[in-house]
Amino acid sequence: MIRFEHVSKTFQTSAGEVKALSDINLEIEDGSIFGVIGLSGAGKSTLVRCMNLLERPTEGSVFFHDTDLLSLKEAELRKQRRKIGMIFQQFNLLEQRTALGNVCYPLEIAGIKKKDAVKKAEELLKLVGLDNRMQSYPSQLSGGQKQRVAIARALATDPEVLLCDEATSALDPNTTRAILELLKDINAKLNVTIVVITHEMKVVEQICDEVAVIDHGIVAETGKVQDVFLKPKSQIARELIFPKRHEASTGTAKRILRLSFDGQKSSEPVISNLVMECQTAVNILGASTENIGGKAYGQMILELPEDEFKLAKVKSYLNEIGISYEEGETNAD
Ligand SMILES: Nc1ncnc2c1ncn2[C@@H]1O[C@H](COP(=O)(O)OP(=O)(O)OP(=O)(O)O)[C@@H](O)[C@H]1O
Residue 247 has pLDDT above 60, yes or no: no
187 lines ligand 1 (CB under 6 A): no
pLDDT digits (tens, 9 = 90+) for 191-228: 999 999 999 888 998 899 999 999 999 999 999 998 88
pLDDT digits (tens, 9 = 90+) for 272-321: 888 888 888 788 887 777 766 556 677 788 887 777 888 888 888 888 88
Query: Within a 10 A sphere around the Cβ of 181, how many other Cβ atoms?
Result: 12
pLDDT digits (tens, 9 = 90+) for 150-197: 999 999 999 999 999 999 999 988 899 999 999 999 999 999 999 999
18 lines ligand 1 (CB under 6 A): yes
Question: 266 pLDDT band (50/70/90 cuts)?
Answer: low
Q: Do 256 and 282 touch, CB atoms closer than 8 A? A: no
Residue 243 has pLDDT above 80, yes or no: no
Residue 230 has pLDDT above 70, yes or no: yes
Q: Which of 24, 45, 169 to mutate to test the pocket of ligand 1 (most atoms within 8 A of CB)?
A: 45
Angle at 169 between CA 27 and CA 244, to 5 degrees: 85
Q: Do 163 and 86 touch, CB atoms closer than 8 A? A: yes
For residue 306, the model assigns a pLDDT of 75
Beta strands 59-64 and 2-13: pairing type?
Answer: antiparallel
Distance CA 293, CA 289 (A): 13
DSSP strand E in 111-254: where? Answer: 161-165, 193-198, 210-215, 218-224
Expressed in angstroms and rounded, the spacing between residue 43 Cα and the centre of ligand 1 is 6
For residue 249, the model assigns a pLDDT of 46
Q: Which of 9, 10, 18 to mutate to test the pocket of ligand 1 (most atoms within 8 A of CB)?
A: 18
* Architecture of the domain spanning 242-329: 2-Layer Sandwich (3.30)
Expressed in angstroms and rounded, the spacing between residue 306 Cα and the centre of ligand 1 is 46
Q: What is the DSSP letter of 245?
A: G
For residue 227, the model assigns a pLDDT of 85
Distance CA 220, CA 254 (A): 27
Question: 333 pLDDT band (50/70/90 cuts)?
Answer: very low
194 lines ligand 1 (CB under 6 A): no
Protein residue with least CA distance to atom 13, ligand 1: 20
Q: Do 180 and 203 touch, CB atoms closer than 8 A? A: yes
Q: Long-range contact list for 292-296, CB < 8 A, 24+ apart?
A: 292/205, 292/206, 292/225, 292/226, 292/229, 292/263, 295/226, 295/263, 295/264, 296/261, 296/263, 296/265, 296/266, 296/267
Expressed in angstroms and rounded, the spacing between residue 208 Cα and the centre of ligand 1 is 23
- CATH among 3.30.360.10, 3.30.565.10, 3.40.50.720, 3.40.50.300 for 2-239: 3.40.50.300
9 lines ligand 1 (CB under 6 A): no
For residue 332, the model assigns a pLDDT of 44
Distance CA 51, CA 63 (A): 8
List every span in the chain annotated with CATH 3.30.70.260.
242-329
List the 59-64 sheet strands across, edge first: 16-28, 2-13, 59-64, 67-68
Mean pLDDT of 58-79: 94
For residue 264, the model assigns a pLDDT of 62
Distance CA 66, CA 86 (A): 21
Q: Do 210 and 35 touch, CB atoms closer than 8 A? A: yes
The per-residue DSSP string of 194-230 comes to: EEEEES-HHHHHHH-SEEEEEETTEEEEEEEHHHHHH
pLDDT digits (tens, 9 = 90+) for 85-98: 999 999 999 999 99
Residue 325 has pLDDT above 90, yes or no: no
330 lines ligand 1 (CB under 6 A): no
